[in-house]
Amino acid sequence: MITKNLKLPPSTNYYGLTIIVFVVEADGQIDGQRVKRDSSGDEHLLGNQILRNIATLKWKPGKCNGKPVPCMYSIPINLDPSLSE
C-alpha cells in the first residue's frame, strides 16, 4: 500500500533503502513526517511520494493503559529492481 503508485523515471537507479519517520497522534492524525534516508539522494523523489501515500492511509494510535497515545513509526522501504514488473 505504501509503495503503490510510485512514479519512477524509466531509467531509474533509485533502488535501495528509503526510511520514512512519522508520529501517529492520539487522534490518528499523522504529524512530524520526514524522510530520514532516501535512495534517490537529496532530491527526496521517492521519500516525498511515499510521504504523500502514507498521508492517505488510516492509522491507529498506540495505546497505553487502554488510552490512545502518540506513537512514532520508522518504516524502512527497500525497493528491489528484481521485483519490478
pLDDT tens track for 25-83:
999 999 999 999 988 777 777 888 888 888 888 899 999 999 999 999 999 988 776 55
Give the domain range for residue 22.
16-79
Rounded CA-CA distance 46/53 in Å is 11
Q: What is the pTM of this model?
A: 0.77
In a domain, 4, yes or no: no
CA angle 14, 12, 50 (to 5 degrees): 50
pLDDT of residue 44: 76
State the amino acid at position 26 in one-letter form: A
pLDDT of residue 10: 64
pLDDT of residue 73: 94
Say how many C-beta atoms besides its own lie within 10 A of residue 45's C-beta: 20
pLDDT tens track for 8-31:
666 667 678 889 999 999 999 999
Domain count across the chain: 1
Contact between residue 69 and residue 33 where contact means Cβ atoms under 8 Å apart:
no
In a domain, 36, yes or no: yes
All three cell numbers of 5, joined, read: 503508485
SS3 67: strand
In a domain, 5, yes or no: no
Q: State the CATH number of the domain containing residue 47.
A: 3.30.2420.10
Query: For residue 9, how many C-alpha atoms fall within 13 Å in the half-sphere facing its CB?
Result: 6
